[in-house]
Each structure stands twice: as structure tokens, then as C-alpha cells.
């Protein structure tokens, strides 16, 4: 996709509202800008998939560029359209041998390229990596394979675990939900056993029986054991002293971010998988965090448990600080509502005898606390106005502070008057990449520059936008802010200007 196509929506936003028209809707549609013509040297640049990429589906996208728009392209003898700028995008079956052969031609000139991926369909779809579980915990193993096999797991201690076949379905996720991608059924073999001893990589073997033939495959996983009563303790360690680490419900990519732990939060570690650590919050709730974001304490460190004392609501200009007196920096979660928020502290018991808040402050309507279970403490705050934003952090004394923004006073006749506006250009250097190697960061920055121009046009009076990106350290929930900017930022690459 070209920069022009990506910027089209923002350009439309800059155009004044059109007058009523009586023409048919089909005539009012504005086409996307044409793809620019590229007439360069014939050269195959295969952007995706990369060499050796593990593909766990029966089909995948293949995209890149051939350098010129007047060429033809075949991938494994299948013709693929080439855009005027030389880009191509195809959705092709994954070959059994994982080899894609690309042949680009222009007249008598041709170029050839090979790319090999690693399919993981069938018997090769084995779990990989290192795992750690508590002694006595049940460990579940799932293996994809061709249907109709008899399968069992042979453990090094002599135990045999039968794996039962079941039918599962792979469904489209994320942006693919907007497309007509049919669900794909596959066979999966599932078994479990109680962890009683460690398993070194390659020691466990899978046995497959089909049509009277038996094959055995080494399982490329290792399983470590945490003895009962020896839960390890770690401390959240963000990229900055005021940073935050992220917790998610499941290990690996694709899980939403639901928990945010500021640097210094103490965490009970009960497992490990795929470079992530399992954090126990309550007896029946655990989350996963990046192992690189946790500093492990020595064995025998006390578990993160403590109490919550007095609660204070302290007015402070543009916000109100909700202060919870803590005996320990325990993990917590903040959930916002239309006119309020809830703070849940895990591993805490109530020592709350006093709740202090002034009735003279118009934002706080009511504060209540409860202890719904032994290892969970909850504070509910009702607001008299809509919730505008919040910022949680630990203060120097180890108390939990939730800084609640007051809604700004907006002039309906000139809503941008007096406001500083930040345009967040995205999250470089990560993100997607296109067939011409245009990155998401580049596209986002280009869009943000156009958006800045739109905001300046709407404001009518503004300082000249600073189009050079300002790079601030990522601060997530505990965010930094430029001096004098009355808001809570979640910055990455940001362009600032002031209206009025």
C-alpha cells in the first residue's frame, strides 16, 4: 500500500463539510489515489515470509516487490498480479516442502528467487521451548497431527500419557475478522499429567501409531519443577524508574493487555513459558509478564502480601490524588467506568479504619472499600463528573497513588481554545511492514503530520507545528509530561503544538 493511499482518510478529514447533494451515492464516491508507476531495475525483494519462518497454517501471505511495474511474476507456477509500483501481494498454499520459487520477467529479462519456510502442519506441529510449573500441578500437552492416529507420550520416568484426539477449529483473529476467511478444522491430540519430576529437552518422546506402523519423535521441550512451598518472588522492572510492565491472560503474542504494574511492584512467580513468567495474583487468578521485565529476588524472599490502611482523596489543582496507605507494593489493577473507577489490590487485607475526602471537592462523590475474598481488596470511587483519565504510581514511601484527572472546561463555541494537542505517531521501531518495505512507523508519522495540519486548520490560531518527532521514554501508565502541559501523556513519537 502506498503512502498516498494510507493518507487519503486524513486528507478527507481536512476538507470542509460538503453541501447537500442530490447526485446518486455512486457518483459521490471519491476513488483512492492511483498507485504511482515505478520503472526501476528488475529485482525480486521478498519481504514476507522470511527465510526459515515457521508457518502454522495451510496458507499464508507472500508479498514483496519486483522493482518495476511492467513485470510479470509467478510463484510456484501460479501467476501473481504486480502493481504499477512493482509491489505484489498473494495468499498462497504452504508447500509441503516449504519452498517458494519466484520468477519475475520483463521481456527477455528474468529473475529467480527461492524462499524456504518451515511448515508445522501435521505431525511436525509440536510444542517447543522451556516450561516451568509448580510440583503437583497438572501440565497439559496439545499436539497437532493428522487425524486417525493412536498417540501417547513416553516420559523419561517411565510414565505413559495417552493423548486423545479431538477436533478443533482455527478461526480468523484481529483484522482478518473483517474478511471472509472460513474457519479451518484440524485434529489435535491432548493429554495431561501431574508434574513430579523435571524433563530435559528431548527426553520425552511422542509415539504415533497409524495403519500398523509406529513412529517415535523426540519432544523439543524442557519442563522444570518448582518444589511445593518455594514460590519465587520478583520485582517489576520497567524501562524507566517511572515505567510499567504489562500483564496478559495468556503467554505469547495475541493476548490483550489487561494489567499494568509500575516498577517496584512485587510479584509471586509460579511458572515460566516461552520467555514469559506466570504471576499469581490470587488463589484462582494468574497473569503472564515478560521475563525480561522482572528482577528475580533471592530464594526465600517473602511472598508479596500486605495490608491497605487509610484512604485519602487529596485535591491537587487539575486532578485529585487517591492515596492508599500500603505496607507492601502489591500488584493491582484499575478499571474505569463512566463516572468512577475501581482499584483492586491483589494479596492485600484491609486495615482501613479511615477514609478521608473533603466534601468541598466537587469531583469525588463517594468512596467505599470492601474485602470480597481473603487475598483481594477493592476500592470503589464514584465521581460527580465523567471520568477523564487516571495515572497510577508508587510514591517514595511505597503508597499507591491514583491521580484522577478533572474533566477540562470546554468552550462549545471554540472547543480547542487554550489546549495543547499531542499527536501520537505510533510505536516505532516495531509494527507492520508492506511489500515496498514501507513501515508502519513511517506511515503513522506521515499521517500524524497531516493530522497536525488538520488540527491547526480547525483551531484557526496555532503555533507552527514542530514536525520533527520528539522522542520521549515510553512511560505507559505512569507517564511523563512536558513542562506546563496539563494532561496525562502516553508518549512515543509525538508532535506538539498549542492552539490559541
- Indicate whether 138 and 93 sit together in one domain: no
Which is more confident, 243 or 6?
243
**Which pLDDT band holds residue 284 (cuts at 50, 70, 90)?**
very high
The band of 459, judged by pLDDT with boundaries at 50, 70 and 90, is low
Rounded to an integer, what distance in angstroms lies between the CA atom of residue 5 and that of residue 30?
12
Instruction: Give the end of a domain, one of 164, 193, 223.
Output: 223
How many Å apart are CA 325 and CA 398, to the nearest integer? Answer: 8
Domain assignment present for residue 486? The answer is yes
Residue 415 lies in a domain: no
Q: Is residue 141 part of a domain?
A: yes
Instruction: Looking at the structure, tell me whether residues 400 and 316 fall in a common domain.
Output: yes
For residues 25 and 10, state if they share a domain.
yes
Mean pLDDT of the chain: 81
Q: Are residues 115 and 127 in the same domain?
A: no
Burial of 326 (0-12, 13-18, 19+ CB in 10 A): buried
Number of structural domains (the chain) is 5
* Domain stops at, among 66, 87, 119: 119
DSSP 136: T
pLDDT tens, residue by residue, 416-432: 777 777 777 776 666 78
Q: How confident is the model at residue 146 (pLDDT cuts 50, 70, 90)?
A: confident
Split at pLDDT 50, 70, 90, the class of 457 is: low
Residues 470-494 pLDDT 10s: 443 333 333 333 344 333 333 333 3
pLDDT tens-digit readout, 212-245? 888 888 888 899 998 877 899 999 998 888 889 9
On whether both 26 and 61 belong to a single domain, the answer is: no
Mark whether 180 and 236 lie in a shared domain: no
Listed in sequence order, the residues at least 6 apart from 294 whose beta carbon sits closer than 8 Å to its beta carbon are: 234, 235, 236, 237, 245, 267, 269, 277
Nearest to 465 by CA among 427, 429, 425: 425
- Name the strands in the sheet holding 45-48, side by side, starting at the edge strand that comes first in the sequence: 45-48, 59-65, 87-93
Residues 89 and 158 in one domain: no
pLDDT greater at residue 149 or residue 367: 367
Which residue among 119, 153, 168 closes a domain? 119
Residue 209 within a domain: yes
Same structural domain, 450 and 386: no
Residues 84-138 have pLDDT tens digits of 999 999 999 989 889 999 999 999 999 999 999 987 644 445 677 889 999 899 9
pLDDT of residue 15: 41
In sequence order, what are the residues at sequence separation of 6 or more whose Cβ sits closer than 8 angstroms to the Cβ of residue 129?
A: 220, 221, 222, 273, 274, 275
On whether residue 317 sits in a domain, the answer given is yes
Instruction: Give the CATH number of the domain where residue 79 resides.
Output: 2.60.40.10
Instruction: Give, rounded to a whole angstrom, the gap between the first and last alpha carbons of the chain.
Output: 37
Q: Is the confidence at residue 380, as pLDDT, over 90?
A: yes
Question: If you count them, how many residues does the chain have?
Answer: 500
Residues of the chain by 3-state class (helix, strand, coil), percent to 5: 10, 45, 45
CA 434 – CA 428 distance, rounded (Å): 15
Domain that holds residue 263: 232-296
Same domain assignment for residues 345 and 377: yes
Both 311 and 395 in one domain: the answer is yes
Residue 79 lies in a domain: yes
Does the residue 39 lie in any domain? no
* CA–CA dist 199, 329 (Å, integer): 35
Residues 312 and 399 in one domain: yes
Indicate whether 148 pLDDT > 70: yes
* Domain CATH code at residue 270: 2.30.30.40
Judgement on whether residues 384 and 317 belong to the same structural domain of the protein: yes
Is residue 413 in a domain?
Answer: no
Q: What is the CATH number of the domain that holds 396?
A: 2.60.40.3500
Amino acid at each position: 500500500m502506498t503512502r498516498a493511499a494510507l493518507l487519503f482518510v486524513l486528507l478527507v478529514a481536512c476538507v470542509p463539510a460538503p453541501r447537500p447533494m442530490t447526485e446518486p451515492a455512486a457518483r459521490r464516491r471519491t476513488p483512492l489515489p492511483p498507485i504511482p508507476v515505478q520503472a526501476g531495475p528488475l529485482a525480486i525483494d521478498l519481504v514476507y515470509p522470511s527465510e526459515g519462518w515457521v508457518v502454522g497454517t495451510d496458507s499464508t501471505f507472500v508479498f514483496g516487490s519486483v522493482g518495476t511495474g511492467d513485470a510479470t511474476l509467478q510463484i510456484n507456477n501460479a501467476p501473481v498480479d504486480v502493481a504499477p509500483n512493482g509491489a505484489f501481494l498473494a495468499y498462497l498454499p504452504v508447500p509441503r516442502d516449504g519452498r517458494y520459487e519466484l520468477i519475475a520477467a520483463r521481456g527477455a529479462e528474468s529473475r529467480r528467487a527461492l524462499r524456504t519456510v518451515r511448515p508445522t502442519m501435521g505431525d511436525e506441529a509440536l510444542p517447543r521451548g522451556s516450561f516451568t510449573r509448580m510440583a503437583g500441578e497438572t501440565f497439559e500437552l496439545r499436539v497437532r497431527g493428522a487425524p486417525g492416529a493412536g498417540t501417547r507420550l513416553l516420559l523419561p520416568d517411565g510414565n505413559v500419557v495417552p493423548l486423545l484426539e479431538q477436533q478443533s477449529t482455527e478461526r480468523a483473529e484481529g483484522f482478518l475478522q473483517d474478511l471472509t476467511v472460513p474457519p479451518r478444522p484440524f485434529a489435535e491430540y491432548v493429554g495431561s499429567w501431574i508434574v513430579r519430576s523435571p524433563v530435559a529437552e528431548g527426553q520425552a518422546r511422542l509415539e504415533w501409531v497409524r495403519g500398523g506402523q509406529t513412529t517415535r519423535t523426540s519432544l523439543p521441550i524442557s519442563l522444570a519443577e518448582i518444589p511445593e512451598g518455594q514460590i519465587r518472588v520478583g520485582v517489576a522492572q520497567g524501562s524507566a524508574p517511572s515505567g510499567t510492565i504489562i500483564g496478559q491472560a495468556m503467554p505469547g503474542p495475541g493476548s490483550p493487555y489487561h494489567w499494568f504494574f509500575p516498577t517496584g511492584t512485587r510479584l509471586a512467580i509460579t511458572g515460566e513459558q516461552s520467555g514469559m513468567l506466570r504471576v499469581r495474583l490470587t488463589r484462582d487468578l494468574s497473569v503472564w509478564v515478560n521475563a525480561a521485565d522482572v528482577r528475580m529476588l533471592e530464594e526465600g524472599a517473602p511472598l508479596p502480601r500486605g495490608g491497605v490502611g487509610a484512604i485519602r482523596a487529596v485535591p491537587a489543582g487539575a486532578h485529585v490524588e487517591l492515596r492508599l496507605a500500603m505496607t507492601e507494593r502489591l500488584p493491582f489493577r484499575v478499571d474505569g467506568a463512566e463516572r468512577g473507577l475501581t482499584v483492586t489490590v491483589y494479596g492485600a487485607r484491609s486495615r482501613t479504619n479511615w477514609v478521608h475526602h473533603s466534601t468541598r471537592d466537587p469531583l469525588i462523590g463517594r468512596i467505599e472499600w470492601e474485602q470480597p475474598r481473603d487475598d483481594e481488596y477493592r476500592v470503589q470511587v464514584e465521581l460527580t463528573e465523567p471520568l477523564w483519565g487516571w495515572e497510577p504510581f508508587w510514591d517514595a514511601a511505597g503508597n499507591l497513588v491514583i491521580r484522577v484527572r478533572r474533566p477540562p472546561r470546554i468552550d462549545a463555541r471554540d472547543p480547542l481554545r487554550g489546549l495543547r494537542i499531542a499527536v501520537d505517531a505510533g510505536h516505532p521501531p516495531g509494527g507492520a511492514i508492506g511489500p515496498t518495505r514501507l513501515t508502519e512507523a513511517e506511515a503513522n508519522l506521515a499521517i500524524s503530520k497531516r493530522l497536525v495540519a488538520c488540527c491547526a486548520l480547525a483551531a484557526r490560531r496555532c503555533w507552527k507545528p514542530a514536525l520533527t518527532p520528539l522522542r520521549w521514554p515510553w512511560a505507559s501508565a505512569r507517564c511523563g509530561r512536558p513542562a506546563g502541559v496539563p494532561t496525562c501523556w502516553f508518549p512515543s513519537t509525538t508532535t506538539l503544538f498549542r492552539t490559541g
